[in-house]
Amino acid sequence: MEISDFGKKFVFMPDATRGAVRALTSKQLEDTGTEAIVTNTLHLLMTPGLEKMKKLGGIKNFMNWKGTVLTDSGGFQVFSLIHSKKWKGVVHDNGATFKSPRTGDMYELTPESSIDMQMAIGSDVLVTLDDCRSTNIERIEAEESVSRTIDWASRCKKHFEEKYGGTKETGKLLSCVVQGANFLDLRKKCAQELSAIGFDGYNFGGFVIADNGELVLDEMRAVIENTPKEKFKYAMGVGKPEDIKIVAGLGYKVFDTVLVTRNARHGTLYSNDCENGVLRIKNAEYSLDERPIDSNCDCYTCQKHSRAYIHHLIKVDEVTGLTLTTIHNLRYYQRIIESLNQQSY
């Protein structure tokens, strides 16, 4: 995929948090039809670190991945870890200062340092640092989050342009994150002000599922309606197969979720052969089942192995089981994306 074409068609990105989609080689990943991955700036900042990442020629060279790489800004994780007191650190007007739980080293994540790390990773699609909060926040907190998010996005863009030459020199894309929690007017304001600064893509930030379990469709629509039509829209953290289809209808083209690979590792597999679309491979009923997970799936796992074999591997915690289930779940998602793309052209 040409970077300039990113987000022009539907794309699903699995999480390669530390430089690998867990249990898969880069070749196996490619064979699922995956064209882009998300890597985690915060984890890579701590290990192997910015200087080593640069010396290693960036993540694509490191993991021998020819596809597209999108990096998150590192903000979402560090803020939630600090807010939940799982990590020692402080969030401030300039970003966050925190201590690595592994090494005890201190780090500072600012709009500028986030861009520097994403550049060291060799990202194709960068994301600006945003001030993300937990769900159900008061208006005053949402206002502060929106104002910091806009300020930091502007600083990220300035730094990306002044130090690296911006999209023009690097060919990389810079996307921003729209915050505003459940306040429609704040979502609109954030979207409009970020649009005035100008980015290559607009990402829906914050929680996509409300307490009642429903997608926050009004908020998601407000972002689509108040950002430039021709720029890509990324529904961060969406989601379940049925949610992807709904959100795609609003105008979002880019998706990611940890569910696909996490479910695979827990033995929750997607299958159109089952009534509710899900097959729990650990169930005893599959111990002698010689059918593939999904009779219409063209993945390696379904072509070569039975439910019984995978049931056995997962039951005895055999690592190969995780590889086979991850291949299947990921391919299942990429087939949904392929069918969305066929419908829209």
Applying CB under 5 A, the residues found at the interface with Zn ion are: 297, 299, 301-302, 328
Structure-token pair, residue 101? 């739980």
Distances (CA, A) of 62 to 19, 48, 56: 8, 11, 6
CB atoms within 10 A of CB 15: 20
Minimum CB separation of residue 327 from Zn ion in Å reads 7
Q: How far is CA 336 from the centre of its chain?
A: 17
Alpha carbon 262 to its chain centroid, in Å, reads 13
Check 116, 124, 130, 256 and give the catalytic one. Answer: 256
314-329: b (≥16 Cβ within 10 Å) or e = beeeeeebbbbbbbbb
Query: In angstroms, what is the minimal distance from the CB of 268 to Zn ion?
Result: 14
User: What is the rounded end-to-end Cα distance, in angstroms, of the chain?
Assistant: 17
Residue number, 61 or 339, with CB nearest to Zn ion: 339
Nearer residue to Zn ion within complex by CB, 148 or 328:
328
Q: Is 72 a catalytic residue?
A: yes
CB of 242 to Zn ion, least distance (A): 19
Sheet of 173-178, strand order: 11-13, 254-256, 232-235, 201-204, 173-178, 125-127, 68-71, 36-39
Closer of 143 and 273 to Zn ion (Cβ): 273
CB of 267 to Zn ion, least distance (A): 14
- Distances from the Cα of 149 to the Cα of 128, 182, 194, 305, 327, angstroms: 9, 16, 9, 48, 36
Two tokens at 316? 């005895």
Read out DSSP for 150-171?
A: HHHHHHHHHHHHHHH-HHHHH-
**Closest separation between CB of residue 275 and Zn ion, Å?**
18
CB of 126 to Zn ion, least distance (A): 33
Q: Which residues contact 118 (CB under 8 A, 6 or more apart)?
A: 41, 71, 73, 126, 127
Which residue has tokens 């052209």? 345
Give catalytic status of residue 256 as yes or no. yes
Please name the residues in contact with 275: beta carbons below 8 A apart, sequence gap of 6 or more: none
Who's near 50: CB < 8 A, 6+ residues apart?
116, 117, 120
Shortest distance in whole angstroms from residue 137 CB to Zn ion? 41
Query: Toward Zn ion, which CB reaches closer, 113 or 301?
Result: 301
Q: How long is the chain?
A: 345
What's the maximum distance between 2 C-alpha atoms anywhere in the chain?
62
In the bound state with Zn ion, the residue whose beta carbon lies nearer, of 228 and 277, is 277
Q: Which of 72, 124, 200, 294 is flagged as catalytic?
A: 72
Residues designated catalytic: 72, 256
